A and B are shown apart, each in its own frame.
Chain A
Amino acid sequence: MSLVTRGIEKSYGPTRALAGVDLEAEGGRITAVIGQNGAGKSTLMGVLAGAVAPDAGTMSLDGAPYAPRSPLDARRAGVAMVHQELSLCPHLSVAENVLLGRLPTRGGLVDWKEARRLAVAALEPLVVIDPRTKVSDLSLANQQLVEIARALAFRCRVLILDEPTSSLAASDVLRLFARLRVLKERGLVILYLSHFLEEVTTLADRFVVLRDGENVGGGDVDGSAAGGTPRMVELMAGRAIATLYPRSTHTPGDVALSAGELVVRRGEVVGIAGLVGAGRTTLLRSILRANGTGAAPIRKAMLSEDRKAEGLATSLSIAANITLSRPASRWGFFVTRGGDERASRPWMERMGIRATSASQKVSELSGGNQQKVALARIMHDGADVLLVDEPTRGIDVETKARIYELIDQAARGGKAIVVVSSYLPELLGICDRIHVMRRGELGPSHEASALDEHALLREAAL
């Protein structure tokens, strides 16, 4: 059993997610696919599982050409993916979920006895659960095993696991690993996506590193120099473009924000690094909600990582969005469109928002310009503390540079800024100090000038 890809390419607009990926995975071995955020892991797995159509490249399964048109098509060919967000029918029983879409019948009616037998058989290498249990009554760890069992019931030959441990407790992680080893012995091709290098060295037989949409190397996981974590970190890190980041001197003022380990002064940019699911966004939200202890109330504003769902009201105009939290009102309540637009125009100019006018709908703008509108809103808000979550996700390099400049300007203007980002070069480029967050715990503060990507990766992923 083997899965091979040759020259897989995929672009989203100007962003090149995959730039010709060659990958080989054999049955009876667990292949870990690692890489930083945005390295193209998820896109590649989407291609393998039939959810993303590649622009170029070929794939083969046991030597036969493999080109799935949909996830269902991929499942029928024997390739199943278990996502981070589980896709189960919570109201149905375990047996029904395992046999979804293929319940056995007898004389036109569902043969429940046979269904339970088949479900128990599919669950056998994984876990002992009463197949009549309702799925929503199971723990998250067991729900995940049910989903793997469904893949097995579909007679899958290739099992793709996307960050399967991100929401599991440590004991459940070990249990999952033991189960995956059993499946490996049965000859399945197992692809395992993870940020945690510790997991990769414990579980995987081989590793492959993706960086900027390319397979930049890999090897056997054997604890040797060529197969250990230092090499993985080295391959994952790559190089940063220094000129992208403005390097002006910040002069920190009074403490504007103090929350446990995290202390931020006015005129300072503090970064929080960490893996997806480390709890960074939760931390930002709790800071946003918490009341200041000082005499004067500190105004805080947050830029959400989820621009479309939380950051913007996309069906409204640019002006309405920029003035959302501080309307240009008269007598405290009377708002006119003209007033909002007058208040918005200086921001549009400063941010370099490309639009026909301030009354244009935000949904008509490009992702980068939308992000600038979201940033303009928290700047217009006049808050002292800016909490910025993944400020450059999914936007082009030019806009990124502009956003870095704006963050720098805001800091020089006396704002206290906290930046959460999964893109390490960006944090190293714009922050004065950086904390690493790991499984819900915020680590100590480091001077950014004394750090590099290796150090951050080691602290975050080991």
Chain B
Amino acid sequence: MIALGRHRWVGPLIGLVVVFVLFAILLPGQLTKPITIMTMARATAVVGIAASGTTMVIILGGIDLSVGSAVALTTVVIALVLKQDLGVVAAIVLAVLAAACAGAINGGLTVGLEIAPFIVTLGTMGALRGAAIGLAHEQRVYVDAHGIDALVLPTHGVLGVPLAVWLLFAVAASIAVLLNNTTYGRQVFAIGSNERTALLAGIRVKRIKIITYAVATGLAGVAGIVEFGRLTVGDPTDSVGLELAVIASSVIGGSSLAGGEGSVLGTIFGAMMMTVIQTGCSFLGLASWLQMILTGVIIIAAAGLDRFRQKAAASRVRSRSHNPRKL
């Protein structure tokens, strides 16, 4: 039997189902329409892809605030490269590379100067935004989308599901395998759980950190491709505050900001939950300020529930250590 309680994504999944059922009852026949579900899935793609990367950083015990700026920068880079007629492939590759380089800088500064990642990425959040605005000459970059918009068009889906959603699934699945079933991924968990021990065991902590920040921001670049598909322009002022939605998804999805725990699947459920709340609230005609309050409450409730769960587990262990099990 699979012990469901052991998996961190179970709680977020239950939360998602509860929220979905709640809104489905409040909005009979509306939320369960395939078109609505598709729209919600598509709306989750950008946040979900970016959050898969940030979840890696959070498991590592770090944080990345530069995600929103990285997405905006990516849309600008894609637009500029397309404008030079270098082709779609070059645009996508260059954009993701630019993002990954920014991530490597985040990791490098964190490791090299031993500055807290919160400060480093707070700095690069501003710097990347500035770079995007500068590259775009302080305006939107209008360009023919060269078919990138097909990512989000319902007409170009496979099995009726837009390509962006397939991309989200592919990214989430790959990162889940990377984290759970490769040496690299397990080392990410080990560092987040106890960095000194990881170091003592011969894990190359600095290298793993730089790689993880690079992959995470690289994934923000992938999210940026989808975002460009949605916008069809390069917009340097896009995705302001996206990093907070991304971190919220991760926390609702069961990640601990102290590091060592988290799951990509949970994060995706967390991101979906936020989309369902937003969609449900706007269908109900609730004001956006109410949605904001509700989202805030859910973030705090998720973290609070997790804390409660951990305390309960800790006291269980304490009582056990007084009555050692027979071997």
Contact = CB atoms under 8 A, between A and B. Distances in A.
Interface in A97-145: 100-103, 105, 108-110, 112, 127-128, 134, 136-142
Contacts of B203: 100-101
A91 B192 contact: yes
Which of A102, A103, A141 is packed against the most chain B CB atoms within 10 Å? Answer: A103
B313 A87 contact: no
Contact of A75 (B186, B187, B194, B202): B202
A102 B186 CA distance: 10
Interface string B294-327: 0000000000000000000110110011101101
A308 B320 CA distance: 34
Given A72-B202, A139-B317, A169-B322, A89 B189 contact: yes
Given A110-B182, A110-B186, A139-B324, A100 B201 contact: yes
Contacts of B193: 89-92
A139 B192 CA distance: 22
Contact of A92 (B190, B199, B313, B314): B190
Nearest to A104: B183
Contact of A141 (B183, B187, B324): B324
B186 A103 contact: yes
A110 B324 contact: no
A89 B187 contact: no
A75 B200 contact: yes
Contacts of A89: 189-190, 193-194, 197-198, 260
A92 B324 contact: no
Interface string B258-280: 00110000000000000000000
A137 B313 contact: yes
Interface string A44-78: 00000000000000000000000000011001100
A90 B177 CA distance: 21
A100 B198 contact: yes
A140 B190 contact: no
B156 interface: no
A171 interface: yes
A96 interface: yes
Interface residues of A, number: 35
B49 to A, nearest CB: 23
Nearest to B177: A109
Interface size class of B (residues with CB under 8 A): 20 to 34
Nearest to A167: B321
Given A75-B200, A89-B190, A171 B324 contact: yes
B33 interface: no
A315 to B, nearest CB: 17
A16 B321 CA distance: 39
Contacts of B261: 91
A150 B203 CA distance: 14
Contacts of A395: none
B182 A108 contact: yes
B84 interface: no
A109 B182 contact: yes
B200 A92 contact: no
Interface string B226-267: 000000000000000000000000000000000011000000
B181 A138 contact: no
Interface string B168-196: 00000000010001110011011011101
B246 to A, nearest CB: 22
Given A136-B317, A139-B317, A96 B190 contact: yes
A88 interface: yes
A172 interface: yes
Contact of A101 (B201, B317, B321): B201
A89 B200 CA distance: 12
Given A109-B182, A138-B317, A139-B317, A90 B194 contact: yes
Nearest to B262: A91
30 contacts: A72-B199, A87-B196, A87-B200, A88-B194, A88-B197, A89-B190, A89-B194, A89-B260, A91-B193, A91-B260, A92-B190, A96-B189, A100-B197, A100-B203, A101-B187, A101-B190, A101-B198, A101-B202, A101-B203, A105-B182, A105-B183, A110-B181, A110-B183, A128-B327, A136-B314, A137-B316, A139-B324, A142-B324, A169-B322, A175-B327
What 8 pairs between A and B have smallest CB-CB spacing? Answer: A101-B201, A89-B193, A139-B321, A91-B260, A100-B201, A91-B193, A87-B197, A101-B202
Interface of A: 71-72, 75-76, 87-92, 96, 100-103, 105, 108-110, 112, 127-128, 134, 136-142, 150, 169, 171-172, 175
Given A87-B196, A108-B182, A110-B186, 10 more contacts: A87-B194, A90-B193, A96-B186, A96-B190, A100-B203, A101-B203, A105-B183, A110-B181, A142-B324, A169-B321
